[in-house]
Amino acid sequence: MSHNDLPLLLFGDQLGPHFRTGHEHRQVVLVESMAALRRKPYHRQKLHLVLSGLRHLAAELGDRAVVLTSGTYRQALRDLGRPVVVFEPSSHAAQALVDRMQAEGLVAEVLPSPAFALSRAEFARWARGRERFLMEDFYRDQRRRFDVLMDAGEPVGGRWNFDADNREAPPSGTTRLGMPEPWWPEEDAIDASVRRDLDAWSLPTVGRDGPRLFVITRQEAVQALRRFIDERLRSFGPYEDAVLARDWTMAHSLLSVPLNHGLLQPLEVVRAAEQAHRETGLPLAGVEGFVRQVLGWREYVWHLYWHYGPDYLEHNRFGASMPLPDWWMELRPGHIRAACLRTALEGVRERGWVHHIQRLMVLGNHALQRGYDPKALNDWFATAFVDGTPWVMPVNVIGMSQHADGGRIATKPYLSGGAYLNRMTDHCRGCWFNPKLRRGDRACPFTAGYWAWLDRHEQLVAGNHRMARAVQSLRRLDDIAAVAEQEAERDVF
């Protein structure tokens, strides 16, 4: 049976033109589902982006778009009165919904998603027979497969990975990198309508409303990509792991939102970066680091989400069970004395975004040390961040950040004390805590927490060769019992 005349249903993360290529003859159905918007306490600005993206696409498509506001997706399609064609959805929950709708005759066909460079079928062939899925192996195969930063079958510059060149501390004595500004969107009448509706609906949100900071239309996404490539990518590499309290964007691309909403296709992004390197001499280390994030890590995370399945969320290697504190869940960091932790939570509250080092080495590091429930932490990252999605977070949080999977993703826990934060951020110089102290009222909660965590879990990590030096140092501490007792009772951060 031909489905060629059926409408195409697009979800809110399928907004780009590559989802409509070859389907120009179809009506496009867009659904604003109240059940989906109310499902969890999402960041207010995250909900704004979802609705703004759908409504801007509807305006772009004009009469071709059918916009349905309904209690649920299923009710919307029942009201439509015709079955639809859909692309593979991006989460286990959405897949279950599509399966139910297909069983009910509401969905006639499910098409392979064009959202990623590598299809799920191609990944399955790549993964067949492998016992371990090393990111470096995957990344190199991606580069070969799509011929990105390659010369005659070899990596440009003679190396696959320039990560060691991209770890510079922030420039001394400065509070900003001095980069050209990112391309900022301007709100319009559609954004105003979204804000009015969100105010009226009183959804269970966290964080503050604010001007829309992230691009959510195709035109905006192209302009933001161009600005990053032309004016900001040059400085991205060296300082991609650095943090400046007064410069939240640094040289980061801010493209995770349009990528995760399907407004940009990953190959167009990495090819733009590659072209700039070849034609204008942009530093290879930074270009390669950016390509590794988009074509390597991002695709790797997507495919492992589906490969490992929903049970992956149940991993809890260290038996962490502490509930996330109310001040964390509700984004109320006002009483936090640790400058790095306070600044990161303020960033989440104000804009639903901080860059990867603040996520991994501040928020994730704190959660690991304090024993927060990794599954609850994963859910928080997915709902409190404007670029958080169900597929993005498990490998990043359960695997990399919390090491709850016991080493499937990372070879060691991403754990650090205050020394790392003092080197890679400018927070410690004005902080109430002293990163060199592990005992006393002014002991840095990251420094003391590092040793207390090692003490609690020494037996679990002693066999990890990458933790051997830390464990040896732990065994030489003569005050570890006092540090552990102090941290067990700490309620001031």
pTM of the model: 0.97
Domains for the chain: give ranges and CATH numbers. 8-111 (3.40.50.620), 120-307 (1.25.40.80), 313-489 (1.10.579.10)
| β partners of residue 378 | none
Torsion of CA 222, 256, 296, 369, to 10 degrees: 160
Question: pLDDT category, 121, cuts 50, 70, 90?
Answer: very high
Q: Tokens representing 254?
A: 């801010």
pLDDT of residue 1: 55
Element (H, E) at 28: strand 28-33
pLDDT digits (tens, 9 = 90+) for 357-407: 999 999 999 999 999 999 999 999 999 999 999 999 999 999 999 999 999
pLDDT of residue 131: 81
DSSP letter at 385 equals S
Question: pLDDT category, 3, cuts 50, 70, 90?
Answer: confident
pLDDT of residue 133: 86
The dihedral region occupied by 424, where left means phi > 0, alpha psi between -120 and 50, and beta the remainder, is alpha
Average pLDDT rounded to a whole number, residues 284-296: 97
Q: Tokens representing 222?
A: 């192209």
pLDDT of residue 183: 97
**pLDDT above 70 for 125:** yes
246-283: burial string, b at 16+ Cβ within 10 Å, e else: ebbbbbbbbbbbbbbbbbbbbbebbbbbbebbeeeebb
Q: Tokens representing 347?
A: 């960033």
What is the Cα–Cα distance from 317 to 213, expressed in whole angstroms? 37
**pLDDT above 80 for 2:** no
Element (H, E) at 109: strand 107-111
Q: At what angle do helices 445-456 and 480-489 cross, to 10 degrees?
A: 110
Residue % of the chain over a pLDDT of 70: 100
**pLDDT above 80 for 45:** yes
pLDDT digits (tens, 9 = 90+) for 81-106: 999 999 999 999 999 999 999 999 99
pLDDT of residue 112: 96
